[in-house]
């Protein structure tokens, strides 16, 4: 039997197979140990240099656009829209016609009733004015009588001083009291006139709300016109319609205002006049600026959580900004230029002291630092570092044969991440 035949026969035997497998295991294990000795536990660092830049410290809150700078044109009548005088986007002045309504029977009765109330209030004001003029004339007459009496020789001395002895007589006191009573009656009537004027204004407003002609309550631009010719308005023929129904909205030209909620941690940092950057969910590609105009420091508590509303007025307006839209605002607390900056994730805090890990000549060094402003992603370094220092962001090391590490015959990854 040749050497090759003998070798083949040996390999096929049980003993040969065992020896062959053992040799393979020894070779694999030796190679793995050699790799560990030459490359194992050598950390791989991810670093970033300390840079100078601008940092902005801010607080954020979410909320919505408030309903401001608009007025509604309302009506309480019922009927069918007969004619529409305006359309969305039209400029109107206070008192301009918006639409005309053909009233139903109940609507006509209500309009007539409120017109009658208005005329009665108008007559009451005219009577109050007449009485005021009458009381004023009476006051002047009594004043003239009292003045002549008090300056004659009986009640006034030659040197012009009062004669107190004679002024104690009933005749003098009667004239004085009649003048004072007339003056009090006149002054009281002035208040009556004011009250009647208010009553007249109120009756006119009631008539307008129950009139077939709807007019603009202010100067502005028509928006959200809800009716066209032929549409019904109100509840027909009930006679019980008392709630206002909006016909249109008039924009008065002011700047939008949003309201956001601040946490109890952030509210103490916010002050009137601070700049804010605003975004709206409905306009994701646009940003707006504004200023804080008010902060509620009492707050509102719901389910044990207290929030503090803050109002922000935008610097500009846009037709796309509508009431009740969802918004987010970042209020800028402080801004610094040319500051030393590092990623906030690289700063570690222990016992109220801050540290960062610096890589020097391939070796790690823990450096005590003093931090300043903090943004969402960056931290200002006031002392402890200089521009260009390499900050360790993260590092990776290969696993060793210590307890819990993976062997070359185990499953899973042979590396772990350390931060």
**Do 323 and 176 share a structural domain?**
no
**Do 299 and 388 share a structural domain?**
no
**What is the rounded distance in angstroms from the CA atom of residue 135 to the CA atom of residue 182?**
7
* Domain C-terminal end among 192, 220, 251: 251
pLDDT for the residue 413 = 39
**Do 223 and 272 share a structural domain?**
no
Residue 4 within any structural domain of the chain: no
Contact 365, 382 (CB under 8 A): no
Contact 417, 397 (CB under 8 A): no
Residue 212 within any structural domain of the chain: yes
Residue 95 within any structural domain of the chain: yes
With bands split at pLDDT 50, 70 and 90, how would you rate the model's confidence at 182? very high
pLDDT for the residue 1 = 59
The CATH number assigned to the domain holding 233 equals 1.10.287
Residue 37 within any structural domain of the chain: no
**Do 86 and 226 share a structural domain?**
yes
pTM tops 0.75, yes or no: no
Residue 268 within any structural domain of the chain: yes
**Do 151 and 186 share a structural domain?**
yes
Give me the mean pLDDT over the 36-60 stretch. 80
**Do 292 and 241 share a structural domain?**
no
pLDDT for the residue 234 = 80
Q: Which residue has the tokens 């301009």?
A: 96
Residues 235-255 have pLDDT tens digits of 765 545 556 788 999 988 788
Give me the mean pLDDT over the 184-205 stretch. 95
pLDDT for the residue 238 = 54
**Do 359 and 229 share a structural domain?**
no
Q: Which two tokens stand for residue 211?
A: 């009139």
Q: Which two tokens stand for residue 54?
A: 């601008």
Q: Which of 37-41, 96-100, 339-343, 370-374 has the lowest mean pLDDT?
A: 37-41
Give me the mean pLDDT over the 8-24 stretch. 64
325: how many CB neighbours lie within 10 A of its CB? 16
Give me the mean pLDDT over the 13-31 stretch. 68
**What is the rounded distance in angstroms from the CA atom of residue 103 to the CA atom of residue 119?**
21
Give me the mean pLDDT over the 22-41 stretch. 65
pLDDT for the residue 276 = 96
Candidates 131, 117, 111, 126; CA nearest to 197 is: 126
Q: What does the DSSP 8-state code read for residue 189?
A: H
Residue 39 within any structural domain of the chain: no
pLDDT for the residue 415 = 34
**Do 172 and 260 share a structural domain?**
no
Residues 367-417 have pLDDT tens digits of 999 998 888 888 999 999 999 988 988 877 655 444 434 444 444 433 333
**Do 387 and 283 share a structural domain?**
no
With bands split at pLDDT 50, 70 and 90, how would you rate the model's confidence at 3? low
**Do 269 and 229 share a structural domain?**
no
pLDDT at 63 over 90: yes
Q: What is the number of alpha carbons within 13 Å of residue 182 lying toward its C-beta?
A: 20
The CATH number assigned to the domain holding 259 equals 2.40.30.170
Candidates 258, 373, 410; CA nearest to 326 is: 258
Which comes out higher in pLDDT, residue 188 or 5? Answer: 188
With bands split at pLDDT 50, 70 and 90, how would you rate the model's confidence at 318? confident
- Give kind and range of the element (H or E) at residue 302: strand 300-302
- Give kind and range of the element (H or E) at residue 6: helix 3-12
pLDDT for the residue 411 = 42
**Do 245 and 108 share a structural domain?**
yes
Q: What does the DSSP 8-state code read for residue 162?
A: B
The CATH number assigned to the domain holding 353 equals 2.40.420.20
**What is the rounded distance in angstroms from the CA atom of residue 409 to the CA atom of residue 404?**
13
**What is the rounded distance in angstroms from the CA atom of residue 11 to the CA atom of residue 1?**
15
Candidates 260, 271, 131, 135; CA nearest to 193 is: 131
Backbone CA torsion sign across 85, 89, 91, 94: positive
The structural domain count of the chain equals 3
Structural domain for 344, as ranges: 44-55+337-418
* Share of residues in the chain with pLDDT > 70 (%): 84
Q: Which two tokens stand for residue 237?
A: 């023929």
DSSP E strands: which ranges in 344-401?
348-350, 353-360, 363-374, 378-383, 390-398
**Do 325 and 195 share a structural domain?**
no
* Domain C-terminal end among 231, 251, 271: 251
* Domain C-terminal end among 223, 251, 279: 251
Residue 259 within any structural domain of the chain: yes
Q: What does the DSSP 8-state code read for residue 23?
A: H
Q: Which two tokens stand for residue 327?
A: 């918004």
Residue 257 within any structural domain of the chain: yes
Residues 87-103 have pLDDT tens digits of 999 999 999 999 999 99
Which comes out higher in pLDDT, residue 216 or 41? Answer: 216
With bands split at pLDDT 50, 70 and 90, how would you rate the model's confidence at 10? low
Burial of 411 (0-12, 13-18, 19+ CB in 10 A): exposed
Candidates 58, 91, 94, 39; CA nearest to 218 is: 94
φ, ψ at 119 (rounded to 5°): -65, -40
């Amino acid at each position: 039997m040749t050497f090759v035949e003998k070798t083949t026969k040996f390999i096929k035997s049980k003993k040969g197979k065992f020896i062959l497998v053992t040799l393979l295991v020894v070779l694999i294990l030796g190679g793995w140990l050699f790799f560990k000795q030459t490359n194992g536990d050598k950390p791989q660092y991810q670093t970033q240099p300390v840079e100078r830049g601008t940092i902005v410290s801010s607080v954020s809150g979410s909320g919505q656009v408030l309903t401001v700078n608009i007025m509604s044109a309302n009506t309480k009548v019922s009927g069918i829209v007969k004619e529409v005088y305006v359309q969305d986007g039209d400029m109107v002045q206070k008192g301009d016609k918006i639409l005309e309504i053909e009233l139903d029977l109940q609507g006509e009765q209500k309009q007539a009733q409120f017109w009658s109330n208005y005329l009665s209030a108008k007559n009451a004001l005219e009577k109050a004015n007449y009485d005021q003029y009458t009381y004023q004339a009476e006051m002047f007459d009594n004043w003239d009588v009292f003045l002549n009496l008090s300056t004659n020789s009986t009640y006034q001395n030659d040197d012009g001083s009062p004669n107190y002895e004679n002024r104690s007589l009933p005749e003098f006191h009667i004239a004085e009291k009649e003048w004072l009573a007339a003056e009090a009656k006149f002054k009281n009537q002035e208040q009556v006139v004011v009250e009647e004027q208010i009553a007249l204004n109120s009756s006119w407003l009631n008539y307008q709300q129950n009139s077939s002609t709807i007019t603009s309550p202010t100067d502005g631009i028509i928006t959200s016109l809800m009716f066209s010719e032929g549409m019904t308005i109100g509840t027909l023929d009930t006679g019980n319609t008392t709630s206002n129904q909006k016909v249109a909205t008039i924009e008065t030209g002011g700047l939008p205002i949003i309201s956001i909620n601040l946490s109890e941690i952030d509210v103490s940092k916010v002050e009137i006049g601070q700049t804010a950057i605003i975004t709206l969910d409905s306009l994701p590609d646009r940003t707006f600026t504004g200023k804080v105009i008010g902060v509620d420091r009492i707050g509102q508590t719901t389910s044990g959580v207290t929030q503090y509303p803050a109002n922000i007025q935008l610097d500009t307006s846009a037709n796309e900004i509508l009431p009740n839209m969802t918004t987010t605002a970042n209020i800028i607390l402080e801004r610094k230029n040319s500051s030393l900056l590092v990623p906030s994730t690289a700063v570690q805090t222990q016992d109220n002291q801050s540290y960062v890990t610096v890589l020097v000549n391939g070796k790690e060094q823990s450096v005590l630092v003093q931090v300043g402003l903090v943004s969402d992603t960056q931290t200002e370094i006031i002392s402890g570092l200089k521009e260009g220092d390499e900050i360790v962001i993260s590092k990776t090391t290969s696993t060793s044969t210590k307890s819990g590490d993976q062997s070359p015959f185990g499953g899973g990854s042979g590396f772990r991440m350390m931060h």
